[in-house]
Structure 1
Amino acid sequence: MKKIKKLYLAIIGTLLGLGSVNAQSISDIRINEVMLFNKSNYIDSYGERSAWIELMNTSYNSVNVAGCYFTNDITSPTKYRIPTADPVTLIPQQQYLVFFANGKSVHGTLHLNFLLDSTSRFVALFAPDGRTLIDSVTVPVIGIDKSFVRLPDGFGVWQMSELATPNSTNELFETHVTAGEKFVKFDPYGIVMALIAMTVVFSALFVLYRLFKLMARVVQKPIRIRFTKPKQLTAEATERQVNEIPGEVFAAISAALFFYETEKHDQESTILTIERVSRRYSPWSSKIYTLRQSPQRVVVIKK
């Protein structure tokens, strides 16, 4: 029992450990949007405009990018280390975080110590070990206030966008055809939908029928054995008892039945004769038998 409990605790601990690892997986972070020439677009907390980089958390868990490294030189992967004492580095699920490549790291956690411009267009994000590359991109020379984005967010193909979307989805101005709209075009009268629905329903009913039938067989089998086995045992016991009765018993029974049927009996009188007894009182009410008798005295003569 103790071993089973230890096994359960180990499994739960492993699952919790895997969950915590998944919740803090740096590999879910992606460079989602980059702007090189910011003249009239996004401004920082100091009211200044500069090149910026947008990170996206593609997972459904919060991920902390503290301790990771930004660089614009692949030969120097640890150029800027993201501070670990700032809660702003925790990116919620499916959310974004913008860093400013203005060369002014003294302005705060979100300000990098290098610049992005027409001559420095490469940006990369490394894991806290300083060796594992998480994501990188080389931005082409594009116009002012235009950004280089991924469509769809986090996993799509890089392309130029006329409208920048810092700290928000790149699909904000995109029109997407939903799966329902596609299906309506494919099946305008709903015939395929009806067939699919009927197939699913009847398939489920057939599976349930087979399942319940199998369960009934499993449940009824012990009951059948319980009711048929005693009958078999009773028949066998009766046959064994019949075989054990000796022939003399049957002969005696047959003779008794024969004499009972053939023997003549005398007609016996049914008259009762009552004779009086000498004592008319009932001995049960006599006190003589209830009195204690006096013991006889024995006289001893001394010589």
Structure 2
Amino acid sequence: MRNEIKHFLYGIAILLLIVAGTDVAKSQNATDLRINEILVLNDSNYVDDFGKHNSWIEIFNSAYSPINIGGCYLTNDIDNPTKYWIPIGDPATIVPPRGYVVFFADGKPTRGIFHLNFTLEDAETIALFDANGRTKIDELKITQPQQIDVTYGRIADGGETWNFMDHSTPGANNDSSRKASSGEKFVAIDPYGIGMTMIAMFVVFSALAILYVIYKNIGRFFVGKATASKNAQAPEVTGKTVKAEVEMSGEVNAAIAMALYLYQSELHDQENTVLTIQKVSRNYSPWSSKIYTLRKSPR
């Protein structure tokens, strides 16, 4: 039993290590990063941490795990893929799941790791390359004339359709329109709650059925273990079967009969006293007669 528990715990530990390793591998996969929104002509729009209006590029993490963008490259020249190397080792370069990071294309990299060494005024393309400097993760070709303080981005975060945006959303969701919540969608589909009731009942009874099967199999397992242990402890009988009844000799029977006779004959003590009751000849009751209480006169 102890060995089985140890093996079970070892299996859980190995599974946790595999899951953790998968998460780490996913967190280092930069192929899910997307160029999501840009602003080339910034006159009175988003400002950087120095209060300056500069061109900026928004990168979106389309994955559901964090990605470290450190070590990757940003460029405005496809022939020079390693133009700006994003420093590593800074926690700010870790893009959260479905999160954003904004780089300022001001040509002043000395202002921080999010300030690029190029601008976007004359750029025809923007590209993001992997840490090896050869694998292109995403590319945006600027083919339309840009407007002042109007951003150009994906209609939906990480989507394929690009257009000029009604609202600039650096570090936020591009689609700022109101969407129906999951509850509202469900109410529209099932206004009377019949479907929800059926789903709830199905979930509850399914859980009960699963628990029944689990506990039944567990009970069978432990009962089988107990039976096997009991059979292992029982002595093995080999050869001829021993007779259940042993034949007794005549001397033993006679001794038993004598003991029973003595026991029955000595149940009561020997009584030597004899009581004799004589009937009174008088018709009246001697108990109420007073003559027996009178003193006899001497003669």
Q: Shorter-chain TM-score: what band? A: 0.5 to 0.7
Q: Select which of 21, 41, 44 maps to 1:40.
A: 44
Residue number among 71, 76, 81 corresponding to 1:77 in the alignment: 81
Contact 1:103 1:111 (C-alpha < 8 Å) held by counterparts: yes
Query: Given the alignment of the two structures, is residue 206 of structure 1 paired with residue 209 of structure 2, yes or no?
Result: yes
Q: Please report the TM-score for the alignment, with normalisation by the length of structure 1.
A: 0.64
The residue number in structure 2 matching 1:269 is none
Structure-2 change in CA distance of 1:11 and 1:210 (3 Å): closer
**2:182 is equivalent to residue 150 of structure 1:** no
User: What residue is the counterpart of 1:167 in the other structure?
Assistant: 171
- Determine whether 1:129 maps to 2:136: no
Normalization by structure 2: what TM-score?
A: 0.65
Contact kept, 8 Å, 2:152 with 2:163, in 1: the verdict is yes
Correspondence for 1:240: 242
* Displacement after TM superposition at 1:30 (Å): 2.2
Cα distance, 1:170 vs structure 2: 1.9
**d(CA) in 1 for partners of 2:79 and 2:115?**
21
Once the 2 structures are TM-superposed, how far is the Cα of residue 184 of structure 1 from its aligned partner? 0.6
Asked if structure 1 preserves the Cα contact closer than 8 Å seen for 2:23 and 2:65, the reply is no
Q: Deviations over 1:1-24 (max 9, x none)?
A: 9xx9x9999988776555444333
| Contact in 2 for aligned 1:23/1:63 (Cα 8 Å) | yes
> Structure 1: 5+ residue runs without aligned partners?
261-303
2:53 to 49, 52, 59: 49
Structure 1 SS opposite 2:138: strand
Residue type of the partner of 2:202?
T
Contact 1:34–1:139 under 8 Å retained in 2: no
Give distance in 2, aligned partners of 1:10 and 1:203. Answer: 29
Q: 1:183 to 1:39 in 2, by over 3 A?
A: same
| Partner SS, residue 79 of structure 2 | coil
CA separation of 1:54 and 1:212: change in aligned 2, threshold 3 A: same
Output the CA distance in 1 between the equivalents of 2:226 and 2:67: 58
Q: CA deviation at 1:114?
A: 2.7
Superposition CA RMSD, Å: 4.4
Unaligned runs of 5+ in 2: 258-299
**Offset of 1:72 from its aligned partner?**
1.7
Q: Check 1:222–1:107 CA distance in 2 against 1; reply closer, same or farther (3 A cut).
A: closer
Deviations 1:227-253 (A, max 9, x none): 89999989x99953369x7xxx78x64
SS at match of 1:99: strand
> Aligned-pair distance for 1:127?
1.4
